[in-house]
Amino acid sequence: MLRKKSTQGAMVAGAAAAGSFSRYREPERLVGLGFRAWLAGYQTGDISCWEEAWSLYSETLGPEQARPAVEDLACWVRAIRKASCRAIEVYPEQCRGFCRDECMAIAMVAASQHGACPALRACAFALLENSAIDDVVEGAECLGARLKSCNKILSPNSICQAVAFCPLRTRGRPN
């Protein structure tokens, strides 16, 4: 997994970081920052990344609802790491925006919540660059359902924005 260099300004570290994402709705921040932190924990082996994800979810959902949501997040990210044919990229913790892979992850959960199965599968394929997407799709559906039960519903616009603003990787080939 690669961590992309930031092209945007820094934000306050810690739990207040989510507040710096004013252009993103809370559910999108929850998925995007959780995804970022959980992948960073795998990349660095630093448990503080996972603690950051826990803090974000616990502060947003409350500890009782956060526990199963973080379990779903962890299972989903594990499935992504296992199925991906390439290194998944995330921005460093302090970045205010989301990179292409983070947008695809957000779009997957949004699509799962809105019953947009073709979009969910397309985003999974675009993220993984692999056709073995079933476990990843199931993980996104579990996380999406859990967040929906907590009244954290992502916007259907998150599905379209991922496609519009995050072009497919070209692997060095011109479009």
The residue assigned the tokens 């675009």 is 126
The residue assigned the tokens 């019953």 is 115
The pLDDT score that the predictor gives to residue 102 is 94
The pLDDT score that the predictor gives to residue 90 is 94
The pLDDT score that the predictor gives to residue 162 is 62
In a domain, 174, yes or no: no
User: pLDDT tens across 126-159, in order?
Assistant: 999 989 999 999 999 999 999 999 999 999 998 8
Cβ–Cβ < 8 Å for 108, 175? no
User: pLDDT tens across 42-70, in order?
Assistant: 999 999 999 999 999 999 999 999 999 99
In a domain, 99, yes or no: yes
In a domain, 141, yes or no: yes
Cβ–Cβ < 8 Å for 51, 15? no
Residues contacting 18, CB < 8 A, separation 6+? 26, 29, 30, 33, 56, 60
In a domain, 172, yes or no: no
The predicted model gives 27-34 an average pLDDT of: 96
More confident residue, 131 or 172: 131
In a domain, 3, yes or no: no
Among 26-30, 61-65, 171-175, where is mean pLDDT lowest?
Answer: 171-175
Confidence grade of residue 163 (pLDDT, cut at 50, 70, 90): low
Confidence grade of residue 22 (pLDDT, cut at 50, 70, 90): low
The predicted model scores a pTM of 0.82
Any idea what DSSP says for residue 8?
A: S
Residues 173, 97, 135, 79, CA torsion sign: positive
In a domain, 18, yes or no: no
Among 31-35, 105-109, 160-164, where is mean pLDDT lowest?
Answer: 160-164
The pLDDT score that the predictor gives to residue 110 is 96
In a domain, 6, yes or no: no
Q: Which amino acid is at 107?
A: A
Q: Which domain holds residue 86?
A: 24-165
Q: Quote the tokens at residue 163.
A: 């496609």
At 17, is the secondary structure helix, strand, or coil?
helix
Kindly give the residue spans of alpha helices, DSSP state H, lying in the chain. Answer: 26-44, 47-61, 63-83, 100-113, 117-128, 134-149, 157-165
Number of domains in the chain: 1
In a domain, 63, yes or no: yes
